[in-house]
Amino acid sequence: MELKKMLAEKSKENYGIYLPHLSIDCVVFGFQDASLKVLAVKLKDQPLWGLPGGYIRKEESMDQAASRILQERTGAANIYLQQFRVFGDLNRSEGFFDGYDDDLWHKQRYVSVGYYALVDFSDVTLVTDEFSDACEWLDVGNLPEFMMDHRLILDKALSALRKQLNYKPIGLRLLPAKFTMPELQKLYEIILGKKLNRGNFYRKMLRFGILEKLNESRKGGAHKAPDLYRFEPEKYKDALRNGLQSEW
């Protein structure tokens, strides 16, 4: 069934279920193979990509709605979510539905609440729902064109990550349980958008006292196998209360 017909069939039902004029857009980040990924969806019959999102049920809080939307897309519960901005420009979404009836639920003016989410790849099983043709991880360094204002939302989420790097458990949530120092440095470099001095980065991270060096190394490759580390969650949490005292 084509998207236009599917949305028309759902429209009347949505008026009874969801709060009008409010939506949620989620920027879901993951880290794999030394690259930062973002979850994107492609609606049926549409050439452009978009962010996973949805609406707030009348009996839900905003945070509950965001968690439900992401669980439906990823199969993962207890995802780390951070609300970062509200998007309310005129005609930010209505134009996408030109050619649809004016009383269509989706053609209302929407103010959208932006959340970013941090997930471990191993916890995620992507779900392509009935309205979509694709649900995939895209590399933030090589993104296609996005629908509506979704590229703006994504860029603002990246900016929020950059500003909150010293105050939110970003490394803890994105990296696997065991990781190398080069992997941690690469994550920071991608978020900050710049190269970091290897020696300075290592010294700073060790000085924070939030890492435990393991008696293991990452096997494979032509060079010396790098040591593995893991975060000490309680020490990390304590350190974030006052912020990791560092300029990057």
Q: What is the pLDDT of residue 124?
A: 86
Q: What is the pLDDT of residue 222?
A: 52
Distance CA(215)–CA(146), nearest Å, equals 44
Tell me how far apart the terminal alpha carbons of the chain are, to the nearest angstrom: 51
pLDDT digits (tens, 9 = 90+) for 21-45: 999 999 999 999 889 999 999 999 8
Q: Among residues 91, 66, 92, which one has the least CA distance to residue 77? A: 66
Q: What is the pLDDT of residue 149?
A: 96
pLDDT confidence bin for 220, thresholds 50/70/90: low
Q: What is the pLDDT of residue 133?
A: 92
Question: Is residue 50 pLDDT above 80, yes or no?
Answer: yes
Distance CA(185)–CA(34), nearest Å, equals 10
| 135-146 mean pLDDT | 94
Q: Among residues 167, 175, 178, 244, which one has the least CA distance to residue 214? A: 178
Q: Looking at the DSSP assignment, which residues form a beta bridge with residue 194?
A: none
Q: Among residues 171, 152, 139, 42, which one has the least CA distance to residue 93? A: 152
Q: What is the pLDDT of residue 218?
A: 75
Instruction: For 215, list phi and psi in degrees, rounded to 5.
Output: -85, 50
Q: Six-digit token pair at 229? A: 């580390």
* Coil/strand/helix, residue 145: coil
Question: Is residue 49 pLDDT above 90, yes or no?
Answer: yes
Q: What is the pLDDT of residue 28?
A: 96
pLDDT digits (tens, 9 = 90+) for 163-190: 999 999 999 999 999 999 999 999 999 9
* Reported pTM: 0.90
Structural domains present in the chain:
3-164 (3.90.79.10), 177-242 (1.10.10.10)
Mean pLDDT score of the chain: 91
pLDDT digits (tens, 9 = 90+) for 53-110: 999 999 999 999 999 999 998 888 888 999 999 999 998 888 888 888 999 999 999 9
